[in-house]
Structure 1
Amino acid sequence: MKALIVDDEKHVRDAIRLLSDWEGNGITEVLEASDGEAAAEAIREHAPQIVMTDMKMPRKDGVQLLTWIRDNAPECKALVISGYDDFELIRHTIRSGGVDYILKPVEPEALNEALARAVNAWRSDEEKRAAQIRQSIEVNEMKPHYADKLLSELVAGHGGTERAVGLLRGQAGMPETAGEAQVGLISLEQLDAGLLGKFQRDRQLLAFMVLNICNELLKNKGTAFQHLNRYGEIVLLYWDRQMPFRAVFDRINEGFELALRRRLHAGLSGFLPFPDGAGKAYKEARAALWRRNLLESGERLHAADAGEQPARFPRLSGRADKLRLAALGGKDEQMAAAADEWLEEMKQQPSVTPENIAEWNDEWDWLQKQWEDGNEGRAAEAANDETPETENGAYPLPLDSEGLLSWPLWREMMLGRLKAASRLLAALHTKDNHIIHDIARYVEAHYREEVSLQDIASHFFLSREYISRKFKQEFGVTMSDFLSRIRIDKAKVLLRNTPLRISQIAESVGYRDENYFSKVFKKQEGVRPGEYRKQFSGEG
């Protein structure tokens, strides 16, 4: 904290410097000025928190200086030290926001009482300013989330139509006359594993990059937002009839290629009545994106075809016995032969879609569940039954950098799932739990990263449901709680042994949000990180 002494007499400045308890009030730097003009320059340059000024001075006097401080540096706290017991001067001091008016000759006790009041007043105001800044930051952070929530509800058909339309017209530039709109859809799940791997620790950053590029080029023609109920989906709401969506999407892809050396695929609906048709438009765009043919190159904008029905895809259930025998055998050649036989059948298909591969993953999880439960016979009998439906994108799609099907990657994925099934079946026969312990070791090694159940399922080629259930059985806690315990234990070590700021510690153990880290820490330890550090310091 800095203080400025303003007086045209040097011996008065020396006396104030000598009599004031600077250290006790947290003041580490004391400046001087011989008149109001020099004081204004010092305030502009050094921004002192406390100004102690005389009233009668050449050039700019104390009255003028107080008025200047009120208008140009209102955060400063001023106290007057004057030889004039003048009511008008006292009144001007009060009106200008001065903290106190002390008469010369200066009494040390009165001087330090006034100085303490000025310091306390500044600190109180600073706390209020800091609270307002924090509140402003929180509001600004919540604005995009609130918009995403309203618009996600709109396209999901969950209501909130009036608020969503008001937001679009107030913030996104949607004209009152826009009675129709179309929806474009981008899914981060349909990017290749190489690119997704680069953002493994911060997938949200990738989403922000896509959103920023889209909104920069959509200006007043549409808006882009994250679908909060669909992992990795960016929805583009477009209402401009004058410029075709394709023209804007081509520019979006140019920007994305410049930033990340990739081009996006998107599904596109037709123009439908807005806002009532927003939900239908979203479904059309989603169907177009997830039913695009991964064997055909060239087109990146996939239009919806209302009359088109998804082609029937060969079911894994018809090969259940062969796949199970290959997994039980546990030999690489046998599993590779089973995978190649399946892929040869797939290569005869005229179309393979992202939806097909997602369904293939779901069906594999279902088969694996039958084997785990010891109901292998039921799998063959249920070849024509429907498997449980789950979200698209539960596993990474085997796509190349162009967003098309990579046969080698699909083969690698299938071999991985066969080997995982082999280990699972072996564990069931030996009553061992090596797989779950391998997963626990993986979590311990990657606790700093964004470790999700979906990522682990993809890495170990097991279903999320199986991992979640078995983890709880083996360790008595959910995988999320297990990960939190590891992170908080690491944080405790850092709090006890390093001077790192709490925000730095939070980030080093895998939490990007300091407030969320503090909440998790308090839930587990009963105190906040700062309190924990103080307790330990006190014990030490």
Structure 2
Amino acid sequence: MKALIVDDEKHVREGIMILGAWAQNGISEIYEAENGEEAIHLIQKYKPEIIFSDMKMPKMDGVSLLEWIKENHPPSKTIVVTGYDDYHYMRKAIHFGSSDYLLKPIDPEILNHTLETAVKDWKKEELDRERKENSSQLINEMKPVYRDRKLTKLINSDHLTDDLYEGFGIHSADQYQVALIRINGKTIEAFQGDRDLAYFTILNVINEIMMENECGIGFRYLSHKGEVVIIFWNKFEQIEELLKRIYQMLRETMNISCPIFLGKPVNKNNRLMDSYLYAKQLFFNRNILAAVESHFYVKDNLPSHSLRNLMDYSSQIEMAVQAGENGAFVEVIHQIESDLTADHILTLKQLLHLENEYLVISNKWFKHYHLSVLATEEIEKRMDPFFDETGNFKLEEYIKRKKREIAIFLKKVKKKNLLKNSNIIHEIEKYLQANFDRDVKLQEISEHFYISREYISRKFKQEFNVNISDYIVKFRMKKAKSLLKNSQLKIYEIANMIGYQDDKYFRKVFKKVEGITPNEYREVHMNLK
């Protein structure tokens, strides 16, 4: 594997090269670039799998570079490294698919954890790409797959070609119109998880109606998961009726809800992509809070407004995390819910944006507490469980899920803190044992371990069922007994060695703890030898 480090500061590039566990992660070649322009040249030449990039650079900055990578080299995994803790940059990094966002100065542990995660994600996706490629090669000669590949290419091109006329019966027309049908996880589940069977069945229903009316053709749009596209070239006045018929037939015969979105008409000189993109806009901008019987959309009636950002609530979220109780999050969650649904409107675009930022913030706090970050599904796939069989969004279920996730996180944090606190108390015990021969004050322990005296006293008693002063006395008596049994030292010498300057006081304490005097203890154990 290959990696590329992009930063206009040489010492930063060198630092990443020194700190990175490259060989451990299977990376054998590392390249450097001072700006985005140099980076693009190296990416085109060497095609690195992992790319670290700064955000502020001369000539071409990190934002422009991330945008170029997303469009031209999407398989690579990008990691932003910057000295600016700026939510604007963080949102840009999220938007262009960056794997993570690291702040300078770079923590070696976080750097290598991020590198390891990026490499694992790339390898997993590469396996998926290879499987899809092999599967595509095996069934390349099958007509449905050939149709899907050719028509997908058509959507992304500027004109119709003769072989498409002949192969699929598409008619030359003065106008075309595209409809988009979404296939989500719930639909695939209805076919026992058989994705190919789901598409095959749905397309049979669509193309039977299309052939009957000689007005269009449906196919699996391979550029995006979960999409079926219909190209219409005739009977435009009947399109809405035909699409409603398709929706109802799928709903009634297979009990699945596949929302349909109709693009704008385009003339033959325009790209079909324009019509498709309008349909896609309807998909993202529809109000998912509106409970409707038929999910069929032909126009966008929603007022345009900017997306709300979860990052805007970061201070409230931080306070709730520090409080460490589920109740602390209730007010924050209710405030976010109220703000997002103030007009009884929530678009899928807003929801996906919210979920994306939620994952970024969650990962940040998991890393803060050194908890393992779980691999996540695609954002849209994560939303599938919250749409019911009729296609309506279940907001309450979504919020309940978030509350459960937060509760699990807080439980892990508490467990981590308990373990950490227990370790600290045992470290204090070792400190007392190492310094048993002198008078160790509670204030000294507090200053040494940066913990309050009250907390130390309380936790020490909970852990050892004895207070610190009594623990020291017992430990001193243990040392004294060992010296009495195994040496010819005088009593006053032993007393001085274990921290008592007054041997009479030592004798008094020893008898109180052991029930006999030091001399009697020595005599008893000498007789036993």
How high is the TM-score relative to the length of structure 1?
0.44
